[in-house]
A and B are shown apart, each in its own frame.
Chain A
Amino acid sequence: MLDGFDALVLARIQFAFTVSFHFLFPAFSIGLASYLAVLEGLWLKTGREVYLTLFRYWLKIFAITFAMGVVSGIVMSYQFGTNWSVFSDRAGPVIGPLMAYEVLTAFFLEAGFLGVMLFGMEKVGKKLHFAATLAVAVGTFISAFWILAVNSWMHTPQGFIIGANGQFLPADWWAIIFNPSFPYRLVHTVIAAYLTTALIVGAVGAWHLLRDRGNAGARKMFSMAMWMAALVAPVQIFAGDLHGLNTLEHQPAKVMAMEGHFGSHPDGAPLILFGLPDQDAATVRYKLEIPKASSLILKHDLDAPLAGLDSVPREDWPPVPIVFWSFRVMVGLGFLMLGLGLFSLVARARGRLYDWPWLHRFALAMGPSGLVAVLAGWITTEVGRQPYTIYGLLRTSASASPLDAPAVAASLVAFVLVYFAVFGVGVWYLLKLMGHAPHAGEPGIEAGPDRPIRSAGITPAPAVERGQ
């Protein structure tokens, strides 16, 4: 069965699988940490019960999400070495320090204050607790900063020299960190995380509004989420466009694959909306296209020439069908999010935000769309970087560890089984928590029937479970 699957292909599948799974959690928790900080801040400022209710409601969800993010993240920090040792050896002097800074400035901050955030409200008081929540929220952002600096450097490497032993050696740290694609990728990714969270919060709010439009917590969270979607979705589309133009400048082959431009267009390139790219035949079949629109978007000029993949050696082509389709999924979902935001503005203007079931059904359906779009976006940019790990300089085929195929096959199977089982169950627990309506007197993590730290002797969890 594994014929034709060499160790390299298996290692690539394993990395893609584990990193995709992992990123789902931070994509949600980066935004959720900030949302929790906002909720707690509003509670401290206004003293309104509903904010505390929502804070406690989402804190339980955050705890599970964060735990899954941590354990799947540890896997990533070791997988560079276990499976991509040549890459690690050669790029280590440049990317290693950035990742060390991520640990020092972000991971410790998050982990150090997470305990206080989850369990410490009664022990440290409101203000210090709020400080802990802020520390965790800031930590998630700092983490994104460093890891995206590393990732962006792999796309647009600069500020290095090549040593006699073949290693990439740092020459200018400022240039390495603030490499050309980094600001765009950082903004696009962080906004994506906020949007992802807003869509999930909105969907949970919508679910409970569909059942009980009077629920104060559901109304508040839905309203907040819809503001976020309405304001941030257009910003994200704009940021994504800028990111695309930056990619055109530095990684043109990726944009050619996104656009499905196998051939060059000297006088205006069409925008292919849909079609079936055929990499071997170097053509897009059954395509539906708008003449010259691609040149208009990418060059702001209908007749601007755009080079195609025929200007790039074939061995340097990324896998076009994957990039072409993942890009369309991302963009399509982005416009649906914009649609949801606009719909909510209309509903708000008409005073029907809380009693328009179609809006709520739409928001509910869009709940996972942020996660899907985030994955599609990462697939676009990472597969689009192929066949390189460090763009233009180190090929993926030359980056892997000298491992036997059976070793990688075994670990890949183990990862797939464990991830689907463990994280599948985790997601089910999340859905269970989301399925119960927020209510006044919402139990926190440190108290209440579903966490025995305070009340195990009084109301054991099993009794409550059975009583439901």
Chain B
Amino acid sequence: MGVDFDLTIVWAFIIAFAVFAYVVMDGFDLGVGILFPRLEGDERAVAMNSIAPVWDGNETWLVMGGGGLLAAFPLAYAIVLPALYAPIIAMLLALIFRGVAFEFRWRDARHQAFWDRAFFGGSLLAALAQGIALGALLQGIAVEGRAYAGGWWDWLTPFSLLCGASLVAGYGLLGATWLIMKAEDGLQAKARRYAKRLGIVTVVAIAAVSAATPFLEIEYYARWFAWPNILLTAPVPLLVAVVAVAFWRSLDRREYAPFLLALALFALSFVGLGISMFPYVIPNEVTIWQAAAPEKSQIFMLIGASVLIPIILAYTAYAYWTFRGKVGTHGYH
């Protein structure tokens, strides 16, 4: 074992990867749910069929993020989850509604409208709750000793609500661009229109959250604007602008580019988030090293993760490959 090999940083990246994988993958299928009320008749069948074979795998990354946090940074898990109690519970309940809707809507024609609403409401609330949770974490959590020390409404602020609304727009964008890839004709045209509107909202939201973050009375300002950090941080907003323009120009004709560029927007936002937080896992309170599990836990898991995560990515790719291409009302051809 090399002396300079910091397992805690390795694990921070693995957890960050799991969270990002979740945001990207469940993001588009939650986004499809968010767009559901705007779809009609067969469009709903197409939209749902386009995600039905993969949503369960996508959501597994959420379990990986939570379980991985418990395993690699147990102290962070133990402080953050009670602090975000209400949004987390709301998210879990919302995911129940939307998860069962995949099955239930086909089983009960008389109540299909109800399960479609459950699918939409569950997707919307889950996205909102996740964004609020992120905002609440970013704005800081009261810690005393090894425990959360705040109340059960601390998470509710204008900033966390802004983050929640932003994530709803962002997931909606991913969902719309996903449908551009998977759908044809009328639904595809509709998806392009929504992608356009949601693209604008998302870029504005990224700008708003980015502008508000340095003023949260946490050391974010210094991390972004102090010399020489600014050499590293300045490209991030510039790249966001470049990607936004490319996205806009791809929207009218391209089928895959809008989705990939929307993912790039998420990736850049995620990098920005990393710059703001590192090396803290709970801003100003707990660093990744303070929260880390002992080396023996880190090594034991790393052995498994380094073998298994590539395998998981391989068969996840296989599953996506199996269901590649356009989805008609007549299913996968």
Contacts and interface: CB of A to CB of B under 8 A. Distances in A.
- The 6 tightest CB contacts between A and B, nearest first, are A92-B74, A115-B53, A96-B71, A81-B81, A89-B78, A71-B99
Contacts of B66: 77-78, 81
| Most A Cβ at <10 Å: residue of B42, B64, B96, B108 | B96
B149 A402 contact: yes
A235 interface: no
B89 interface: yes
B13 interface: no
B294 A426 contact: no
B218 interface: no
Nearest to B152: A407
Contacts of B300: 97, 170, 173
B300 to A, nearest CB: 5
A68 B100 contact: yes
A414 to B, nearest CB: 6
Interface in B39-75: 42, 45, 49, 52-54, 56-57, 59-60, 62-64, 66-72, 74-75
A132 to B, nearest CB: 9
Interface of B: 42, 45, 49, 52-54, 56-57, 59-60, 62-64, 66-72, 74-75, 77-82, 85-86, 88-89, 92-93, 95-97, 99-100, 102-104, 106-110, 112, 146-149, 151-152, 293-294, 296-297, 300-301, 304-305, 308-309, 312, 315-316, 318-319, 322-323, 329-332
Contact of B296 (A111, A119, A169): A169
A291 to B, nearest CB: 50
Contact of A82 (B67, B85, B331): B85
A173 B71 CA distance: 14
8 contacts: A67-B100, A85-B147, A89-B78, A89-B146, A105-B308, A107-B64, A109-B315, A426-B103
A238 interface: no
Given A85-B147, A402-B147, 6 more contacts: A92-B293, A96-B297, A404-B151, A422-B97, A425-B104, A466-B109
A112 B312 contact: yes
Given A89-B74, A99-B71, A120-B322, A461 B99 contact: no
A259 interface: no
B266 to A, nearest CB: 22
Contacts of B59: 70, 74, 111
A290 interface: no
Q: How large is the interface on A (under 10, 10 to 19, 20 to 34, 35 or more residues)?
A: 35 or more
A110 to B, nearest CB: 8
B80 to A, nearest CB: 7
B293 A454 contact: no
A440 B319 CA distance: 30
Contacts of A118: 52-53
B329 A456 contact: yes
B312 to A, nearest CB: 4
Contact of A97 (B60, B149, B301): B301
Interface string A425-468: 11001001100000000000010001111111100011011100
A115 B294 contact: no
Contacts of B57: 108, 111-112, 114-115
Given A85-B78, A89-B146, A116-B53, A71 B96 contact: yes
B149 A457 contact: no
A465 B107 CA distance: 10
Contacts of B108: 429
Given A119-B52, A404-B151, A404-B152, A82 B82 contact: yes
Nearest to A447: B331
A322 B67 CA distance: 31
B107 A450 contact: yes
A89 B71 CA distance: 10
Given A81-B80, A81-B82, A96-B297, A112 B107 contact: no
B63 A432 contact: no
A227 interface: no
Contacts of B79: 85, 89
Nearest to B144: A402
B67 A99 contact: yes
Contacts of A414: 89, 93
Contacts of A454: 330-331
Nearest to A75: B92
Given A111-B56, A165-B146, A170-B297, A77 B304 contact: no
A96 B74 contact: yes
A123 B312 contact: no
A268 B104 CA distance: 56
A391 B10 CA distance: 33
A3 B66 CA distance: 33
Nearest to A461: B109
A104 B304 contact: yes
| Most A Cβ at <10 Å: residue of B103, B149, B330 | B103
A442 B278 CA distance: 56
A362 interface: no
Given A82-B81, A425-B104, A401 B148 contact: yes
Interface in A39-92: 63-64, 66-68, 70-75, 77-78, 80-83, 85-86, 88-89, 91-92
Contacts of B323: 115, 119-120, 123
B305 A75 contact: no
A163 interface: yes
B148 A402 contact: yes
A403 interface: yes
Nearest to A415: B93
A418 B300 CA distance: 38
Contact of A170 (B63, B70, B296, B308): B296
| Most B Cβ at <10 Å: residue of A88, A95, A96, A411 | A96
Contacts of B85: 82, 401, 403, 407, 411
Contacts of A453: 45, 49, 52, 330-332
A451 B69 CA distance: 38
A173 B316 CA distance: 29
Contact of B294 (A70, A107, A163, A457): A163
Given A401-B148, A426-B100, A100 B71 contact: yes
A11 to B, nearest CB: 11
Contacts of B322: 115-116, 120, 123-124
